[in-house]
A and B are shown apart, each in its own frame.
Chain A
Amino acid sequence: GAGVSQSPRYKVAKRGQDVALRCDPISGHVSLFWYQQALGQGPEFLTYFQNEAQLDKSGLPSDRFFAERPEGSVSTLKIQRTQQEDSAVYLCASSLAGGQFKNIQYFGAGTRLSVL
C-alpha cells in the first residue's frame, strides 16, 4: 500500500477483554515498530521486528502484551486482559533496512484504545 495502515482506528474494550490491533506496513519495508502514546505524552517504544523476527521487545509493559509478525509483513499487537492503564494510542511504523531511506520510520495514523 501507499502508507502504513492500522486498524481499527478506534477500539473500546471493557476491562478484562482481549484486544488485537493490526498494522499493515509499507510494501517492502523490512523493519516494523510498535509505539504506545499515553495522553499528553510522547510515544514510547514497545517492540521491533526485522522481517518475522522480533529483535527487541524490551518496551512491552507486561506479559499481557504480545506482538507477532508471522510472515514478515502484517503485524498484530495483542493485549490480554486489558486494564484501564492500557488506554492509549498505539502507533505502528515501518522502514527500509537499507538504501538511501533506511532508518526513516513512516507512521500509521494509530489505533486509539479506550478501556472502560
Chain B
Amino acid sequence: KQEVTQIPAALSVPEGENLVLNCSFTDSAIYNLQWFRQDPGKGLTSLLLIQSSQREQTSGRLNASLDKSSGRSTLYIAASQPGDSATYLCAVNDYKLSFGAGTTVTVRA
C-alpha cells in the first residue's frame, strides 16, 4: 500500500521568507504527483502536477520537484505572502490518489 508522508506538519514563517515543503512516498510506480492547496473549510485547489517522466514543474512563485527513485517531492514557494497561509497536500497517483496528511503553513505579516 502506498504511504505518503509530509514533513513538517506545520510551519510558521515571516512574510518574504521562502517555503520548503517535503513529501515522501513508498512506491515509485506512479503516473504523476500533484500538489494541492486547501483553505479551512474549503475544497482542494490544484497547484502543480508533475508527470512521472518529469523532474520539476513551475508556476509563478511555485516550483515542485520530483525524484521518483528516492520517492520524494519538494514544493518551493518563493517570497511567501500572508495569502499563502493554507494547508498544502501532496498526492501520488497510481490510478487512485494517495494523500499525505498535509503541511499547515502560516505566513506572518
Contacts and interface: CB of A to CB of B under 8 A. Distances in A.
A and B part of one assembly? yes
Given A103-B95, A105-B93, A42 B101 contact: yes
Interface string A42-85: 11110010000000100100000000000000000000000000
Interface in B7-59: 31-32, 34, 41-44, 46, 49
B97 interface: yes
A19 interface: no
Nearest to A40: B101
A42 B99 contact: yes
A103 B32 CA distance: 8
Interface residues of A, number: 22
Interface string B51-93: 0000000000000000000000000000000000000010101
A108 B43 contact: yes
A108 B42 CA distance: 11
A104 B30 CA distance: 12
B100 A42 contact: yes
Given A91-B43, A107-B44, A110-B43, A43 B96 contact: no
Contact of B44 (A48, A56, A59, A91): A91
B69 to A, nearest CB: 20
A45 B32 CA distance: 16
Q: Shortest 5 CB-CB distances between A and B: which pairs?
A: A42-B99, A109-B43, A103-B31, A45-B96, A107-B44
21 contacts: A42-B91, A42-B100, A42-B101, A42-B102, A43-B89, A43-B91, A43-B97, A43-B99, A45-B96, A48-B96, A56-B96, A59-B96, A91-B44, A103-B31, A103-B32, A105-B34, A105-B93, A107-B43, A107-B46, A108-B43, A112-B41
